[in-house]
Structure 1
Amino acid sequence: MDKNEMEQLIAKYLNKELTDAEASDLKHWLEKDKVNRQVFENIVGQWHLSQEEVAASKVRVLQRIQTNQQVPTSTKTLPARSWFSSYGYRVAAVLLLGLGLALVGLLKSEWWRANDVATAVYVEKEAVLGQKLSFQLPDGSIVKLNAGSKLKYPSAFKGKNRDVQLTGEAFFDVARDEDHPFRIASNGVMVQVLGTSFNVRSYPDEQDVAVAVKTGKVAVSGIETKNRVTLEPAQMATYSLADQSINKKTIEANDPSVFGWVDKHLVFRDENFDVVLTQLSRWYGVEFKVEQKKNMGKRFTANFKNPSLVKVMESVSFVYGFNYKINGNRVTIY
């Protein structure tokens, strides 16, 4: 493998774009020579640095090389093997670090230019607990954020992809652009589309990431794995964070339990008590204090249209047989 091929493979590795065949080639190259692995580890270890930090590190490397090249003041002659293991090995290690840093600078600068990362200004929108937020992205796509969710995106899409990062739940109505796929990264899952409407649910305290399509077509894959499914309208993919598997199923068209929140429908479908309280906490921005649990084995199903907290609590308390008290943003169950 020549130098250019090696650089391309490492660049793809850093950007998580290796194919199975390329991953095998990279593994073979790493196992071929320990020097290869040292260079690779230096590059990967420095990848998180900024361009300025890489440049500063390269200066420090050169200074260390110059320091090591000074003639030893001791008149004692070292055996050849001892000299290599002490002085020569140190210089070699520093040179390897320098090579790694130089390659990092090259790869990062090329990758940054290709994706316009260096000049990108990012915007972050957040819907706090008890709030929902609608806004338009620079490409004309419409996003609706559910409570307790964040979306990070560039102020202008300039690269080959339109990349955003999601925490929580959002509904996307993506403006079609076949030359620039729209990609959402969220909790180890990558969702890619050209133009469609769909829902992504990916809260940090939940064990699964769910993607459901309303119109168009969506590809869902694990960022660290090769698992991938394609979804069409009325289909949902659930990605398990535990084993990184993806399950695909058919749902109702415009399923209210999936898409209902966009139109202010609070929907529960055979949910347990803890899930009900979690969803109510996000929806209304309240904190629950449970002093006594009753009938916890029951499941709760309901569909409310833009309800007040009192209206929902009346239904939930009837099913589970408890009393409650609302005091500001605190709900006590007893």
Structure 2
Amino acid sequence: MKNYRDFNTEDFVWDINFRNWVLSPNREVNAFWEKWLEANPEKTPQVEKAKSIVKALVIKDLSLEKTEVEELVKNTVSKIDEQENNTTKKIRWFSTSKNQWLKVAALIAIIIGLGITYHQLLNEINEPKGIYEKHVAANPEKLIEVKNDHESPLPIQLIDGSLVLLKKGSKISYLKQFEGNNREIYLSGEAFFEVTKNPEKPFLVYANGLITKVLGTSFTVRAYDKEKEVTVEVKTGKVSVFAQSDTRVEEKATSRELKGVVLTPNQKIVYAREEVRMDKLLVELPKITIKKNTKPQFEFEDTPVSEVLQTLEKAYSIDIVFDEELLSNCPLTASLTDLQLFDKLDIICKGVEARYEILDGQIVIYSKGCK
């Protein structure tokens, strides 16, 4: 176990666990670091500074040209000079030779200390809209760009047979011919995707800092430039999502497996762009995933609650965590056929004096059993 109490700012910056917490947080990682900071409040200034530097290192993911990096550094130094005016404060670099990006990051961290925020400094080059436009500008002859200015969704058939329903005010860009090992789409706005299955050629949707990867399924991505969150909702199959700032982004994008946060039907990810944080949830109105010709009946008479929950689990393709032995002795008589999933759960839990929570995209039932 690492002794983080002995870490300085630079040590935090290059620690893989710390970087994963900043760039790809999840519930378990958040819990660890929040508890550690609560026990070590004196390390908060170093941790906050290290977090700013790690986020600044995302610059590397934008594949800037050398001249752009030099210009960024030049502008950064100018801003520091303007802030310090004629003071004699010296800028001391970290004693490391890992790469030039740490220098850029350190400059940005210094600017933050002088009152110029990270987001203000990188706004022009790190704005999601800029990423989309830069992609279009870099491949003008090879790309197809489609915009929807109409009220109704615009259907778009891709060369691989996949279907895109583009919502009003949205746009996508993609190569006329999918090249390389992936099928890549850039989205600004909202669209529903029904992807033709091809395990040998994963389908990737880039949208405001979040990458959605599928092998063949249907899902919706909402990623408007003016909104602070990106949302991915799964209708059928499985998808994986990960941030473009993820330290393992290339591995996750090129792998033939679904790596990252994996979503199944009726689950969604809400990605907070400014905080680089993902929350795995259930959609507001989960839909039955079983084919219509085998639609289940939710009429129960003296049925053990454990069997009722298993029926719901199968019908909605959602994991329901409960104590099977405890609830097998709790009978339920109820007609739930015409109710939404969460209404069904409310009635079930009321009938056996239980409660439920949504945790990490699954339903957890808490009960003391039946009297």
TM-score normalised by structure 1 residue count: 0.41
Whose strand proportion is higher, 1 or 2? Answer: 1
Which of the two has higher C-alpha Rg? 1
TM-score normalised by structure 2 residue count: 0.38
